[in-house]
Amino acid sequence: MVYEPREDSWLLERVVRERARGRVIDVGCGTGILARAAGDALAVDIDPQAVEHARSTGVDAHVSDLFSEVSGTFDTIISNTPYLPSDPRAPDVALDGGTKGYEWILRFLEQAKKHLARDGHILFLISTQTNPSVIEQWLTKNCFVYDICARERVFFEELLVYDARFALPDIQEATYLASGKRSKVYRHGNHVIKLAQTRRIEQEAHMLQAVNKLGLGPKYYAHTPHRLIMEYIAGERIDTFLAQGGDSKRVFAEVLRQCRLLDEAHINKKEMTNPYKHILISDERVVMIDWERAKKTTRPQNVAQFREYIKKHTSLAERVYAVVKRIPEGRVATYKEIGRRINSNAYQAIGQALKRNPDPNSIPCHRVIRSDRTLGGYFGGEQAKKKRLLKDEGVLFDAQGRVRKECLLTQST
C-alpha cells in the first residue's frame, strides 16, 4: 500500500522546498510529494506500486531497495524514513523501521554517505519514538555535523527533521598547520583536522565536548578513531599578541574567567603556567585550544597556574629594561644574551618589549643586536641611525658590517 502524505510528509516537504539544491534524490518516495517539492529530482522506492503512483504525477521514479539501483553522488538526499518498530501482526514496508524502529534509518544513512557529494547534505525525518540519540551517535561517529531544522509535535510523538552534512574533509585538500610529538594538524576551510592515536583522539574529543557545554574551546564537530574535526580558530598566540602590545588587561580578565569556569567544573587544563601555544586571541574572541591533556580532577589549578603566567609576563619587560640599562657604551648584547640573563627564551617578547621602550635615553635599546651580529631592528627607526649611534659610542664593525666579537657582552663579561 502506498504511504499517503501526512503530518510528517508535509513537515519535511516545507524543509525540502527551502533547502534542497543541486542534484537531488528522494529515497522511499511514496507518492512522490518530496521529489515534486524539490523540483527536478530522482526518486526511488522498493514498492513498485509507489513507483508507479509517483510516475503518474510526473516524477522520475524507479524501483530500488535504498541505493541498490542508484549510481553517482547527490547534493541533496531526502528521505521520510519509516521509523516505527516492526509489527508482525500488520507488516507495512512504508512504516516498518526495523525491530527497534531505527534499523532502516541506519541502513539508509550508511548507504547515503557513499552517494553524498562532498558538500552535499541529507534531509531526513524521524520521530522521538525512533530513539534520536542512536541516530545522533551514528552521525557523530561517522563524521557528520547536523542540526534539527524543523520539529512538530503530533499527538504522542514529536517529528524531527535533520539536516546532516559530511564533516570529514579530504586530507589531501587540507593545508598543513603544525605537528606535535604524537599528532599532526591540518586546516580545511573552517575546520581543523587533528590526526593522532585513537586513545588521544577519544580523550580530546570527550573533553572538547565537555568544555563546549561551558562555552569554551573551539566547536567540536566529529571524530573517528584517528581524526578529530573541530572549528578553526583564527587569531594570534597569546605570547605574540601581548608582545605586539595587545590589550593584556582584557585578555587576562577573559582567560581568568574561563579558568574559573574550568575550576568549577573540576577540569584541569594543565598548561596554564606557560600557555603560549594554547590560547588564541582575535578582536572578538579569546579561545583555549589543545585539550588532549585536560583531565577531570578534584583539585583543578587553572586560575592559580594562569596567575603565575601573569606575574611572569608583567615582570619580563622590567627585567629586560634593567639588563639593557647595564650595557656600557662601546659594548652590545644579543637578544639571546638578554634572555639568558633574565632566564627567558621568549626572544620575540624581549624584542617587542624593546620596541615599546618607554625611555630611550635611559634604556639604550640600540645596544641590542641579533645573534649573527647584524644590527636587527631599532626603536628609533633606520638601521643606519642605529649603526651611527653605536659607532659614536666606540663599537667596532667588520668588513661585512657586523659588530666585531670583542664588542659583545658574553656570559663571562
Taking the CA atoms of residue 274, residue 276, residue 278 and residue 280 in that order, the dihedral angle to the nearest 10 degrees is: 140
Please give, one letter per residue, the 3-state secondary structure of 218-260: CCEEEEECCEEEEECCCCEEHHHHHHCCCCHHHHHHHHHHHHH
User: Chain-centre distance of CA 140, in angstroms?
Assistant: 15
365 in active site: yes
Q: Is 28 left (phi over 0), alpha (psi -120 to 50) or beta?
A: left
Mode of pairing for the β-strands spanning 267-268 and 236-237? unpaired
* Three cell numbers, residue 384: 643606519
Q: How far apart are CA 182 and CA 34, in angstroms?
A: 48
Which of the following is catalytic: 29, 259, 365, 407? 365
Under DSSP, is residue 267 helix (H, G, I), strand (E, B) or coil? strand
* DSSP bridge pairs for 193: 186, 229
Closest CA to 74 of 106, 44, 107: 44
* DSSP bridge pairs for 296: 267
Q: How far apart are CA 273 and CA 321, in angstroms?
A: 23
Expressed in angstroms, the distance from the first to the final Cα of the chain is: 96
* DSSP bridge pairs for 43: 26, 61
Catalytic residue IDs = 365
